[in-house]
Chain A
Amino acid sequence: MKKVFEIALGIVTSVGGFLEIGSIATAAQAGADFGFQLAWSIALGTICIGFLVEMSGRFSAVSKHTIPDAMRERFGVRFYVVPLVVMLGVSLLTLGAEIGGVAAAVKLATGIALPVWVLPAAIVAWLILWKATFGFIENGISLLGLVTVSFAVVAYKLHPSYASLGHGMLPTLPHEKASHYWFVAVSVLGASVSPYLYYFYSSGAIEEKWDRSYVIVNRAVAAIGMGFGGFLSVAVLVCGATIFHPRGIEVQHYEQLPGLLTPVLGSAGFWLFVASLGIACIGATVEISLSLAYLVAQGFGWKWGEDLPPHEDARFSLTYTVIVFSAALMPLVGIDPLKLTNVAMALTSASLPIGVFPFLILMNDKTYLQENTNGWLGNGVVMIISVMAAVLAIVSIPLEIIGGS
């Protein structure tokens, strides 16, 4: 019975924690610019993150190691610094976008300029990190994130063409704006397959003292939770494709985003959007900051644990403190959260193999996983999607910058 409850809670929190500014903004842009045609990129991203989350939970449950821990052990420090530096760089940009997302939500609610809310948003996130336990962060904030289900309600009420949506699930070549099409596709992929998610999940399994008996729970949570999370991203795309695309509206500013819900829900839709953006982004801010602090602390063998009072793991606690306030500088100096999101998501895609490949090697190492190593399907799917995302990103980012199509 306890395991059934854990599966249910895990699924609910995975769904509630799935959307953040990256997935909302990129799915809305994909729908607005290309209708249903880019639905496949959400499907591919969701499959990939589902596999990665399942692997990271299984890895920690069986080996009692986190991914960074094993990565330094297996490949040595001279290798470890490469994913460390890349992850820190790319995830700091994502973190800046998330803090900007929280501030944007409060700006929408109050009308007071966004930069005013950046520092308060960072302080709230830091207070949660400083005082809350891992369970509160994982369950409490993610449960509040269920407000994002409102996108699915609106998508259903819009009566989209399910035939067109089904057609969009199959990758097709663009009819126009080719470079922009691929750029949006890799941004969507980057938003779905954010490495911080599976690093966070891997450390969470150790925080919650998982053992081998959690392998099945983990599989169910990863498959169903990520599946429903991806479904919510598709719902955002449907809203964009049905509301923005026919009117030729391009998503250029986050102020346009409440328009995903207001045509159906009116002013309630506006407030639901504000709540969705604010909660989803504060949740992601906390999770990314923790993920990066885990990455540093585990790599150097420090004492770490979100359940420990900060004075017991001073280096770990100060690492997330420095991270959260450094990232806040970006929206604070006026960098637009939406533009920051696009850059961060595309760079996440471009750098995927740097974190994914060593992880796959670990997932096939019997020293850590005994009989629980990866099968050919997991290896193949994750490798193909991450290489494809990286290649597309490396080709499309320069084209998007120079404006070619």
Chain B
Amino acid sequence: MRLVADALDNQLEDVNGARAGRVDGIVLELRDGRPPRVAYIEVSPITLLSRFSMRLAQWFARIDRRFGEGRGVPFRIPWTRVARDGPTMKIDLNVEHTPIQAFEDWLRVKLVEHIPGGGSK
């Protein structure tokens, strides 16, 4: 697999087939005397912003940290829980209640559920 061409920026789907963001970054583990190994993928606006500007990413991380424990750092998924399905990457976890969905959940609870008609079509 060519990591940048075949994995970076590709769509993620969770164990239930729900869209779960994109592969915003890839974390390699460097090992003495052996080739590097893919350890994690990162799914986070912090990682995404760091590809444009580290300063911007650090600023976003500082703000994100205020939202609670575990926030302010990129969300990592072990590579062992990622499988390739065509261009889509399948992750072996439920995206609900993970930091990937945090903003979506916050918007739903704080805003969308208060607007009439948001619960059905």
B-side contacts of A315, CB under 8 Å: 103-104, 107
Cβ contacts A385-404/B at 8 Å (1 or 0 each): 00000000000000000000
CB < 8 Å: which of A72, A300, A310 contacts B112?
A310
When the two chains form their complex, are residues B107 and A132 in contact, meaning their CB atoms are under 8 A apart?
no
Q: In the docked arrangement, what's the CA distance between A289 and B11, Å? A: 23
Mask of B9-32 contacts with A, CB within 8 angstroms, 1/0: 111100000111110100000000
Does B62 sit within 8 A of A, measured CB to CB?
no
B51 contacts A77, C-beta separation under 8 Å: yes
Q: Is B33 an interface residue (CB 8 A)?
A: no
Which of A77, A310, A315: most chain B CB closer than 10 A? A310
Tell me if A314 and B18 are in contact (CB < 8 A): no
| Chain B residues within an 8 Å CB radius of A300 | 21-22
Contacting pair A301 B12 (CB below 8 A): yes
A65 touches B87 (CB 8 A): yes
In this complex, the interface size class of chain B, counting residues with CB under 8 Å from chain A, is 20 to 34
Chain A nearest Cβ from B68, distance in angstroms: 19
A304 at the interface (CB under 8 A from B): yes
Residues A133-155 near B (CB distance < 8 A): 133
The answer to whether A77 and B121 touch (CB under 8 A), given A300-B21, A314-B104, is no
Alpha-carbon separation in the docked complex, A69 to B21 (Å):
11
* Complex CA distance for A304 and B11, rounded to whole angstroms: 13
User: In the complex the two chains form, is A307's CB within 8 Å of B121's CB?
Assistant: yes
Contacts of A313 in B (CB 8 A): 104
Q: Is A380 an interface residue (CB 8 A)?
A: no
CA distance A72 to B7 in the complex (A): 11
A residues contacting the other copy or chain, number (CB 8 A): 30
A72 to B104 Cα, complex, angstroms: 21
Is there an interface contact between A301 and B11, defined as CB atoms closer than 8 Å? yes
Given A77-B51, A130-B117, do A301 and B22 touch, yes or no (CB 8 Å)? yes
A156 interfacial by beta-carbon distance below 8 Å:
no
The 8 A CB mask of A97-132 against B (1 = contact, 0 = none) is: 000000000000000000000000000000000111
Check B119 for interface membership: any CB of A closer than 8 A.
yes
- A73-B11 contact, Cβ under 8 Å, with A300-B21, A301-B19: yes
A367 to B19, CA, bound (A): 21
Q: Output the least CB separation between B82 and chain A (Å).
A: 14
B15 to chain A, nearest CB (A): 15
Instruction: Find out whether the CB atom of B104 lies under 8 angstroms from the CB atom of A302.
Output: yes
With A78-B51, A78-B52, A301-B12 as known contacts, state yes or no: A73 contacts B87, CB within 8 Å: yes
How close is A68's CB to chain B, nearest CB, in angstroms?
11
A317 near B: Cβ within 8 Å?
A: yes
How far in angstroms is the closest Cβ of chain A from B102?
11
Candidates B11, B51, B121; contact of A308 at CB < 8 Å? B121
Q: Nearest CB to that of B10 among chain A residues?
A: A73
Q: Determine the distance from Cα of A130 to Cα of B115 in the docked complex, in whole angstroms.
A: 10
Complex Cα gap A77–B11 (Å): 12
CA separation between A70 and B9, bound complex, in Å? 10
CB-defined contacts of B104 to chain A, threshold 8 Å: 302-303, 313-315
Flag if B87 contacts A317 (CB, 8 Å). no
CB–CB B117/A131 < 8 A: yes
The docked-state distance in angstroms from the alpha carbon of A133 to that of B120 is 10
Contact B117 A72 (CB under 8 A): no
Give the residues from 266 to 306 in chain A that come closer than 8 angstroms, CB to CB, to chain B.
300-304
Taking CB atoms, residues of chain A closer than 8 Å to B21 are 300-302
Of chain B, the residue at the smallest CB distance from A75 is: B9
| With known contacts A73-B10, A314-B107, A301–B20 Cβ distance under 8 A | yes
**Contact in complex: B117, A314 (CB < 8 Å):** no
A54 to chain B, nearest CB (A): 23
- The listed residue with most A CB atoms (<10 A of its CB), out of B9, B105, B108, is B9
Q: A65-B87, A73-B87, A301-B21 are in contact. Are A318 and B121 (CB under 8 A)?
A: no
- Supply 6 A–B pairs (Cβ within 8 Å), ascending by A: A72-B9, A78-B52, A81-B52, A133-B121, A301-B22, A311-B118
Knowing that A131-B121, A302-B19, A318-B112 are A-B contacts, what are 9 other residue pairs whose CB atoms are under 8 Å apart, sorted by A's residue number? Answer: A77-B9, A77-B22, A81-B52, A308-B121, A309-B118, A309-B120, A310-B118, A314-B107, A315-B107
